[in-house]
A and B are shown apart, each in its own frame.
Chain A
Amino acid sequence: NAGVMQNPRHLVRRRGQEARLRCSPMKGHSHVYWYRQLPEEGLKFMVYLQKENIIDESGMPKERFSAEFPKEGPSILRIQQVVRGDSAAYFCASSGDRGQTYEQYFGPGTRLTVT
């Protein structure tokens, strides 16, 4: 059973460009979470999605950031007009139905560097 997959693993963008980060949840998982980790810090929650729905985006910056989890295909975290402060590791996690299990399983992360 493949784990959570993220690509690319490393992404370099110049200021003003767009970054698209992809996440495929574990097989059978329908809940996806995105977190951001700044250097030497813990993970900060950004957004929680189920298929075709954003459930909780309380951690998302109001501008330039968006996320989706379409009916088919991976979840996408999109950052428009990137700035240096967006440089971080972005982790995706997935979980099964909350009635069965609560732990989230994390992907290897995408390390975004904005030059």
Chain B
Amino acid sequence: AQSVAQPEDQVNVAEGNPLTVKCTYSVSGNPYLFWYVQYPNRGLQFLLKYITGDNLVKGSYGFEAEFNKSQTSFHLKKPSALVSDSALYFCAVSQTGANNLFFGTGTRLTVIP
């Protein structure tokens, strides 16, 4: 069975500071890992993905994530947070050959001016 854990419901960070949103996963076989962002009353926007290759993945809007196989983690990071980054962030996993994404419960990021 596959699962995704986002241990923090809420993350607050000051504008200009680095941010980290945590994600750990459990899946059979090789994972496909994704981060999405959701703004109020909107659909999810794709940020980045890890399929294979370099463990550090760079995505949209200056976000990046690092795949750590030994810790089964895929934390989302950004060196300098913007107020406009405030939103709900979802980590998702899919296992090899599967069709669906399995989502975490989301982390609400608030960037304080």
Contact = CB atoms under 8 A, between A and B. Distances in A.
Interface of A: 4, 6, 31, 33, 35, 41-45, 48, 55-56, 58-59, 91, 93, 102-109, 111
What interface size band does chain B fall in? 20 to 34
B6 to A, nearest CB: 8
Contacts of B100: 33, 45, 48, 56, 58-59
A109 B104 contact: no
A108 B42 contact: yes
Interface string B47-63: 00101000000000000
Contact of A103 (B34, B105, B106): B34
A106 B105 contact: no
Given A33-B99, A42-B90, A43-B90, A103 B46 contact: yes
Contact of B99 (A44, A55, A103, A107): A55
B83 interface: no
Nearest to B4: A42
Contacts of A43: 44, 90, 101, 103
Question: B-side binding surface: helix, strand, loop or mixed?
Answer: strand
Nearest to A98: B99
Given A42-B90, A102-B51, A106-B43, A56 B103 contact: no
Nearest to B50: A102
Nearest to B99: A48
B106 A106 contact: no
Contact of A45 (B44, B49, B101, B106): B101
Nearest to A101: B49
Given A45-B101, A48-B99, 11 more contacts: A35-B101, A42-B106, A43-B90, A43-B103, A45-B102, A56-B99, A102-B32, A103-B34, A103-B49, A106-B36, A108-B42
8 contacts: A33-B100, A41-B106, A42-B90, A43-B90, A43-B103, A106-B36, A108-B42, A111-B41
In this complex, which of A4, A56, A103, A108 has the most chain B Cβ atoms within 10 angstroms of its Cβ? A103
A96 B19 CA distance: 32
Nearest to A44: B103
